[in-house]
Chain A
Amino acid sequence: MFSPAERQRYRRHLQLAEIGEAGQLRLRQARVLVVGAGGLGCPVLQYLAAAGVGTLGLADADKVELTNLPRQILYGPDDVGQLKVEAAARALRRLNELNNYVLHPMRVSQANVRELVAQYDVVVDGSDNFPTRYLLNDACVSLGRPLVSGAIYKFEGQVSVFNYAGGPTYRCLFPEPPSAAEAPDCNTTGVLNVLPGLIGTVQATEALKVVLGLGDVLSGRLWLLDTLSFQTRTLRFRRDALQSQLNLDTANPADYIDASCTPAQVVACLSASELRQQLAAAEPPLLLDVRGPLEFQRRHLPGAVLLPLPELAARAAEVPRHRPVVVYCQSGVRSAKAVALLRGELGYDNVLSLRGGLEDYPG
């Protein structure tokens, strides 16, 4: 039942025969997970929160950066440096204090995706990389959840709802995960600032339709928008008997490896939480710090060995071959180069780079 204030707040929805009190109650009972609180996630969260979706999950490991502000409209300059999920939740509570906001300040990975997705009825994908997109698809197939997918590139966007009521999945449309080289992200490619707003509000629309069981959901269809030519098209596609079966248990786990640390090379990475787990294990990896001596002096991880990247090739013999090694630096760029060198020319196979570096590894 709704209070008089809620009745007033949601009146324009209650007045729609297609929604009414029953629909508004469905929204209040709904649990929607939004992965990525970036360009797409911001408008999705804003509209779903305002609509009264009772439980909204926010999953993102990133912190707000100044370059985010033009398109990630839940954030202001005061939020720079703060976790996106926390800054977003503050803005959303101002917008609608009645919902429950569940914060997941983590990178969605093979290790945590099942438990995360299982807590929600609908997943909205606003992530910024292919490995996460395939991971979410496969998790939604495994757990039988619809996936409201949106993605952007420069001036273009795509939206579709995958795995809805027996409909096709992301893999039916794009069976092969693109290689790292063909997957530039918004950090390296420009994007028109309103584009995620346009695409994200369409995702929010479809998420509401899924929750409310309203109209024809964008299932088995890919909606494409090109803002420059102002052309839209809707591409129909079918369920592929083989691709639609692929899930967390049957797909190739290599599809989930994030190779975005360096744009040109595929580099093996691990996340801060994965490193924490490894360090707590019986045989922890050797930590190799590839920054400069001054940076090392300011802060380094306990037990780490300093070997600055410029000296790595000459001093590689100091890196053990028969023990796992985790390489880190400040933000993950130098360590990715080090791992590419160690795994490439030097033939190491048990070396990983800490994704996001020390910046993502609170001391």
Chain B
Amino acid sequence: MDLTVSLFGIAREIVGQSSLTLTAPAGQSAAGLLAELRTAYPALASLRSLAVAVNNEYAAADVELHERDEIALIPPVSGG
């Protein structure tokens, strides 16, 4: 299945675009997606806190993803 992921903050800088689409196995979990992205973009692995949102809900590691889910990677930002 194809998953589209919106990127925010420094995650956007690392990937170089505001969203990306990737193919994932059926039943892929939020943690699995994150692991895959961290392999593809090693700089993402250095981000200790990176919230995964699925359909505007904070996703626990084991949340199962589906095609057409609205997925976002949200790191904390600190500017003031």
On A, residues with C-beta under 8 Å from B are 36, 38-41, 125-130, 133, 150-153, 156-158, 173-179, 181-186, 189, 191, 196, 222, 224, 226, 228-229, 233-238
Contacts of B53 in A (CB 8 A): 233, 235
Asked if A176 and B78 make an inter-chain contact with CB atoms under 8 angstroms apart, the answer reads no
| Interface members, chain B 32-80 (any A CB < 8 Å) | 46-49, 51, 53, 56-58, 72, 74-80
Question: If the complex has contacts A153-B9, A237-B58, are A178 and B79 also in contact, measured as CB distance less than 8 A?
Answer: no
Asked if A235 and B78 make an inter-chain contact with CB atoms under 8 angstroms apart, the answer reads no
Asked if A224 and B8 make an inter-chain contact with CB atoms under 8 angstroms apart, the answer reads yes
Asked if B79 and A151 make an inter-chain contact with CB atoms under 8 angstroms apart, the answer reads yes
Q: List 10 A-B contacts (CB under 8 A).
A: A41-B80, A150-B80, A151-B76, A152-B77, A152-B79, A153-B10, A176-B48, A182-B47, A191-B79, A235-B58
Asked if B49 and A176 make an inter-chain contact with CB atoms under 8 angstroms apart, the answer reads yes
How long is the Cα–Cα vector from A311 to B9 in the complex, in angstroms? 40
Contacts of B79 in A (CB 8 A): 39, 128, 151-153, 185-186, 189, 191, 196
Residue with the greatest number of chain A CB neighbours at <10 A, chosen from B48, B53, B79: B79
Asked if A40 and B80 make an inter-chain contact with CB atoms under 8 angstroms apart, the answer reads yes
Asked if A174 and B80 make an inter-chain contact with CB atoms under 8 angstroms apart, the answer reads no
Contacts of A156 in B (CB 8 A): 8-9, 77
Q: Can you list the 6 inter-chain pairs with the closest CB atoms, starting with the nearest?
A: A237-B58, A153-B77, A128-B80, A176-B48, A174-B49, A152-B79
How long is the Cα–Cα vector from A185 to B80 in the complex, in angstroms? 8
Asked if B78 and A130 make an inter-chain contact with CB atoms under 8 angstroms apart, the answer reads yes
Question: If the complex has contacts A175-B49, A233-B72, are A182 and B10 also in contact, measured as CB distance less than 8 A?
Answer: yes
Question: If the complex has contacts A152-B77, A156-B77, A235-B72, are A178 and B47 also in contact, measured as CB distance less than 8 A?
Answer: yes
Name the distance in Å between A40's Cβ and chain B's nearest Cβ: 5
The total of interchain contacts (Cβ-Cβ below 8 angstroms) comes to: 100
Asked if B48 and A182 make an inter-chain contact with CB atoms under 8 angstroms apart, the answer reads yes
Contacts of B48 in A (CB 8 A): 176-179, 182
How long is the Cα–Cα vector from A198 to B72 in the complex, in angstroms? 22
Apart from the given pairs A36-B80, A224-B74, 11 other A-B contacts in the complex at a CB distance below 8 Å: A39-B80, A126-B80, A153-B9, A153-B10, A153-B77, A153-B78, A176-B48, A177-B48, A182-B47, A224-B8, A235-B72
How long is the Cα–Cα vector from A222 to B74 in the complex, in angstroms? 10
Contacts of A129 in B (CB 8 A): 78, 80
Asked if B74 and A128 make an inter-chain contact with CB atoms under 8 angstroms apart, the answer reads no
Question: If the complex has contacts A153-B77, A176-B48, are A234 and B10 also in contact, measured as CB distance less than 8 A?
Answer: no
Contacts of A237 in B (CB 8 A): 51, 57-58
Asked if A177 and B49 make an inter-chain contact with CB atoms under 8 angstroms apart, the answer reads yes
Question: If the complex has contacts A178-B48, A233-B72, are A173 and B80 also in contact, measured as CB distance less than 8 A?
Answer: no
Smallest CB gap from A186: residue in B: B79
How long is the Cα–Cα vector from A228 to B8 in the complex, in angstroms? 12
How long is the Cα–Cα vector from A41 to B80 in the complex, in angstroms? 8
Name the distance in Å between A79's Cβ and chain B's nearest Cβ: 18
Contacts of A228 in B (CB 8 A): 18
Asked if A151 and B74 make an inter-chain contact with CB atoms under 8 angstroms apart, the answer reads no
Contacts of A224 in B (CB 8 A): 8, 74
Asked if B49 and A186 make an inter-chain contact with CB atoms under 8 angstroms apart, the answer reads no
Asked if B46 and A183 make an inter-chain contact with CB atoms under 8 angstroms apart, the answer reads no
Asked if A181 and B49 make an inter-chain contact with CB atoms under 8 angstroms apart, the answer reads no
Q: Of A36, A127, A178, A184, which contacts B76 at CB under 8 A?
A: A178
Contacts of B75 in A (CB 8 A): 178, 182
Contacts of B76 in A (CB 8 A): 130, 133, 151, 158, 173-174, 178
Name the distance in Å between B13's Cβ and chain A's nearest Cβ: 8
User: Would you give the 0/1 interface string for B9-21, flagging 1 where the beta carbon is closer than 8 Å to chain A?
Assistant: 1100000001000
Contacts of A128 in B (CB 8 A): 78-80
Contacts of B8 in A (CB 8 A): 156, 224, 226
Question: If the complex has contacts A173-B51, A177-B49, A224-B8, are A151 and B57 also in contact, measured as CB distance less than 8 A?
Answer: no
